[in-house]
Amino acid sequence: MGITHVEVTETQPVPEKEKVVNDLSIQVATVNGSGSQTANTVLLRAIFQMGVPVSGKNLFPSNIAGLPTWFTIRASKHGYIARRKEIDFLVAMNPETAEEDVQGLRPGSAVVYDERLNLKRLRNDVVFYPVPFDQLVAPVCPDAKLRRLVRNMIYDGVLARLLGIEMEEIRKALQKQFKKKLKAVDLNFNAARAGYEFAEKNLPKADRFTVEGMDATRGKILIDGNSAAALGAMFAGVTVVTWYPITPSSSLGETLTEYMKRYRVDPETGKATFAIVQAEDEIAAIGMALGAGWAGARSMTATSGPGISLMTEFVGFGYYTEIPVVIFDVQRVGPSTGLPTRTMQGDVLSLAFLSHGDTQHILLFPNSVKECFSMGIEAFDLAEEFQTPVFVMSDLDLGMNNWMADPFPYPERPIARGKVLTAEDVERLGRFERYHDVDGDGIPYRTLPGTNHPKAAYFVRGSGHDETALYTERPDDYVKNMDRLNRKFATASRRVPGPVIQQEEHPDFGIIAYGSSHWAVVESLDQLKQEYGLGASYCRLRAFPFSEQVKDFCRRQRRVYVIDQNRDGQMLSLLRLAVDADDVKKLDSVRHYSGLPIDARTITDAIAAKEVRH
């Protein structure tokens, strides 16, 4: 056939009982800008369509072309969807990292690689599958300009053959990807088929891993957290969106724009029931969102840590003046260059008290795409009910990666606009005082600018105002207002989403986690039980301020491990401020801060090291 020399493996076929079915992770190592995203998404989706629980993590650099990037796909019959540390199947396309990637594999793993990289010499305890990508792509893609993009589809075909992924699923996934662009579907499918046929002829199966059809994904969706949050905002009835591009939150604004253009244009007039403005920076983005919130819009912005820093003064202004606004913070490592495209729970402590003076904020911690959606709705209700900035804190892992989920339920609760008085209300009441705690819950009533009643207007000022919103610097006025704001926050602690608690009957210890760490914790709980016989109660935080249940959880445990994806134990610090004094010493910590999504093994190892007496 004259293509090239073909490695004929000396390994014998794997006996049936040693086969590993639907429990593997694939890592594709490419150079960014090489168009691997389609191939990776298609591979992920093909496995998903076969009914096998799957997750994908894009570990990418802050760059457009030329730097190493990795995409890991995990298929798990157990339904584990956290990142797994160990790689079973490596696709090595990047000359820069190939050798290190291969050296990092466990014995028994497999490597599909561009044969020019000549990796086989490196080890003899892993299975090598060399593939002549360039020779294979030329005949299926006559247009040389497209070859670079189509080339990656070949490894989809090779993997399909080696792992047992059905080619029909690859085709269906391509159709999903390219929608009506039939030529693109054909071109990419032909490349995949060339890979499949090459593997069929030249690469006898020599590793243990296979994918077999299951029925665990029927009716489920695949979506990233930013898209889910965008959908949440749309169904929350958001009307003003002001944002500034920043990884990893940009796709939230962009996806929201697409959905709003499709579904929020008035059918009769063709006009938009929303305003989306790309602002000149994050200061302007939050300023616009606050101006809109003051004037009565359901307003939001989306950003990440460095943007949060710029918004700091305005967020404090929003707290003191009591203006509703929703801020989606898709957290990342920062600031400046370095690891801006890596994940972190890095803003917890700073957001809780963001700005100067005595400020405290409502934070929501979605753990899933489902909660990105539901909290994306609830945040708007909370912001208006409590007339204050509300943060929805996801992270790069949750926001930018695709996750499996049940279809999102349609919101049952009507939109809650909080304590807004109309002109008729003011007329009926005969008075209006903007910052008067009428109901004893710390939440005052507001009117919207434009309300046509002589008593409805008021003037918004930062920290110094009395109950009627008049300027004051009197100590007693200031203290009174600050105490009311505290009362409002206490009310919020009873209203925000409570923790989800899984109480063991006789726990060895407790675990507290939040956000995207949840999936690694769930897996770690199983590992701790299976490998060490340790049982843990688990409290998943969903909001700050903490409800009484969180303190109560800590009272009932002997020790509590707080899982943080940051170096300094930011949630640990917040909890130390909140729990009973006697419980502070119970709090211990597991911290993961490499820029990669947390994995179960890291948690299990860290806890076992402390809990297991050797």
Partner 1 sequence: MATTSVPPAPPKKVNRIGLDITPYKGNKSTLCAGCGHNAISERIIEACFELGIEPHRVAKLSGIGCSSKSPAYFLGAAYGLNAVHGRMPSVATGAMLANRHLIAVGVSGDGDTASIGIGQFIHLMRRNLPIIYIIEDNGCYGLTKGQFSATADIGSKLKTGVVNELPPIDTCALAILLGATYVARSFSGDKKQLLALLKGALAHNGTSMLDVISPCVTFNDHEGSTKSYSYVKDHDAPLEDINFIPFFEEITADYDPGTTTDITLHDGSHLLLKKLGTEYDPTSKTDALRLLTEAHEKGEILTGLFFVETKRHNFLDLINLVDDPLATLPQSRVRPPKSVLDEVMQELM
Under rule CB under 8 A, residue 291 binds partner 1: yes
Which pair of structure tokens corresponds to residue 415?
A: 């939109």
Mapped onto helix, strand or coil, the DSSP state of residue 47 is helix
For partner 1, the closer of residues 197 and 427 by Cβ is 427
Question: Residues 362-401: x/- map of binding to partner 1 (CB under 8 A)?
Answer: ----------------------------------------
Q: Identify the residue among 12, 336, 337, 452 touching partner 1 (CB under 8 A).
A: 452
Question: Interaction with partner 1 in 461-480: which residues (CB under 8 A)?
Answer: 461-462, 471
Under rule CB under 8 A, residue 214 binds partner 1: no
CA nearest 37: which of 135, 134, 173, 160? Answer: 173
380, 316 in Cβ contact below 8 A? no
User: Do the strands 509-514 and 536-541 form a parallel or antiparallel pair, or are they unpaired?
Assistant: parallel
Task: Kindly indicate which of the ranges 3-11, 236-244, 342-350, 479-487 contains the residues binding partner 1, using the contact rule CB under 8 A.
Answer: 236-244
Under rule CB under 8 A, residue 231 binds partner 1: yes
342, 596 in Cβ contact below 8 A? yes
Q: Identify the residue among 191, 289, 421, 596 touching partner 1 (CB under 8 A).
A: 289
Q: Identify the residue among 203, 234, 539, 590 touching partner 1 (CB under 8 A).
A: 234
Under rule CB under 8 A, residue 269 binds partner 1: yes
Q: Identify the residue among 237, 389, 399, 444 touching partner 1 (CB under 8 A).
A: 237
Letter for the amino acid at 150? V
* N- to C-terminal Cα separation, the chain: 60
Under rule CB under 8 A, residue 181 binds partner 1: no
Q: What is the DSSP string of 14-46?
A: PPGGG-EESEEEEEEEEETTS-HHHHHHHHHHH
Q: Identify the residue among 155, 209, 243, 274 touching partner 1 (CB under 8 A).
A: 274
Task: Kindly indicate which of the ranges 13-21, 167-175, 296-304, 529-537 contains the residues binding partner 1, using the contact rule CB under 8 A.
Answer: 296-304
Task: Kindly indicate which of the ranges 194-202, 390-398, 410-418, 581-589 contains the residues binding partner 1, using the contact rule CB under 8 A.
Answer: 410-418
User: Do the strands 500-502 and 446-447 form a parallel or antiparallel pair, or are they unpaired?
Assistant: unpaired
Under rule CB under 8 A, residue 220 binds partner 1: yes
Helix (H) or strand (E) holding 56, with range, is strand 54-59
Q: Identify the residue among 296, 334, 376, 569 touching partner 1 (CB under 8 A).
A: 296
Under rule CB under 8 A, residue 310 binds partner 1: no
Under rule CB under 8 A, residue 259 binds partner 1: yes
89, 25 in Cβ contact below 8 A? yes
State the Cα–Cα distance between residues 189 and 169, nearest whole angstrom.
11
Size of the site for partner 1 (CB under 8 A): 72
Q: What is the DSSP string of 436-447?
A: --SSSSS---EE
359, 321 in Cβ contact below 8 A? no
- CB-based burial of residue 213 (10 Å sphere; 0-12 exposed, 13-18 middle, 19+ buried)? middle
Under rule CB under 8 A, residue 298 binds partner 1: yes
Q: Identify the residue among 299, 359, 527, 604 touching partner 1 (CB under 8 A).
A: 299
Under rule CB under 8 A, residue 293 binds partner 1: yes
Under rule CB under 8 A, residue 242 binds partner 1: yes
Under rule CB under 8 A, residue 249 binds partner 1: no
278, 253 in Cβ contact below 8 A? yes
Q: Identify the residue among 295, 479, 490, 612 touching partner 1 (CB under 8 A).
A: 295
For partner 1, the closer of residues 122 and 221 by Cβ is 221
* Paired residues of 224 in beta bridges: 402
Beta carbons within 8 Å of 88's beta carbon, 6+ residues apart: 20, 24, 25, 26, 106, 109, 110, 207, 209
Q: Identify the residue among 44, 82, 290, 362 touching partner 1 (CB under 8 A).
A: 290
CA nearest 23: which of 406, 536, 613, 523? Answer: 523
Find the shortest distance in angstroms from Cβ 221 to partner 1. Answer: 4
Task: Kindly indicate which of the ranges 113-121, 458-466, 473-481, 486-494 contains the residues binding partner 1, using the contact rule CB under 8 A.
Answer: 458-466
- Please give the backbone phi and psi of residue 239, each rounded to the nearest 5 degrees, phi first: -120, -25
- Residue 134 has a CB neighbour count (10 Å cut-off) of 14
Q: Identify the residue among 407, 479, 490, 500 touching partner 1 (CB under 8 A).
A: 407
For partner 1, the closer of residues 215 and 582 by Cβ is 215
State the Cα–Cα distance between residues 367 and 354, nearest whole angstrom.
22
State the Cα–Cα distance between residues 209 and 23, nearest whole angstrom.
8
Mapped onto helix, strand or coil, the DSSP state of residue 524 is helix
Give the CA distances from residue 55 to residues 27, 40, 74, 83, 263, in Å, rounded to whole numbers and listed in that order: 12, 11, 5, 8, 29
57, 77 in Cβ contact below 8 A? no
For partner 1, the closer of residues 280 and 531 by Cβ is 280
Find the shortest distance in angstroms from Cβ 357 to partner 1. Answer: 13
Which pair of structure tokens corresponds to residue 338?
A: 């370095």
Question: Residues 67-96: x/- map of binding to partner 1 (CB under 8 A)?
Answer: ------------------------------
Find the shortest distance in angstroms from Cβ 45 to partner 1. Answer: 10
Under rule CB under 8 A, residue 354 binds partner 1: no
Under rule CB under 8 A, residue 419 binds partner 1: no
Beta carbons within 8 Å of 177's beta carbon, 6+ residues apart: 38, 41, 42, 45
Q: Identify the residue among 138, 272, 429, 479 touching partner 1 (CB under 8 A).
A: 272
For partner 1, the closer of residues 455 and 487 by Cβ is 455
Task: Kindly indicate which of the ranges 34-42, 111-119, 312-320, 499-507 contains the residues binding partner 1, using the contact rule CB under 8 A.
Answer: 312-320
- Residue 450 has a CB neighbour count (10 Å cut-off) of 10
Question: Interaction with partner 1 in 432-451: which residues (CB under 8 A)?
Answer: 448-451
Find the shortest distance in angstroms from Cβ 292 to partner 1. Answer: 4
Task: Kindly indicate which of the ranges 52-60, 79-87, 265-273, 482-490 contains the residues binding partner 1, using the contact rule CB under 8 A.
Answer: 265-273
Under rule CB under 8 A, residue 173 binds partner 1: no
198, 160 in Cβ contact below 8 A? no
Q: Identify the residue among 107, 142, 454, 533 touching partner 1 (CB under 8 A).
A: 454
Give the CA distances from residue 364 to residues 65, 150, 235, 384, in Å, rounded to whole numbers and listed in that order: 35, 41, 18, 15
Find the shortest distance in angstroms from Cβ 405 to partner 1. Answer: 9
Task: Kindly indicate which of the ranges 84-92, 214-222, 387-395, 544-552 contains the residues binding partner 1, using the contact rule CB under 8 A.
Answer: 214-222
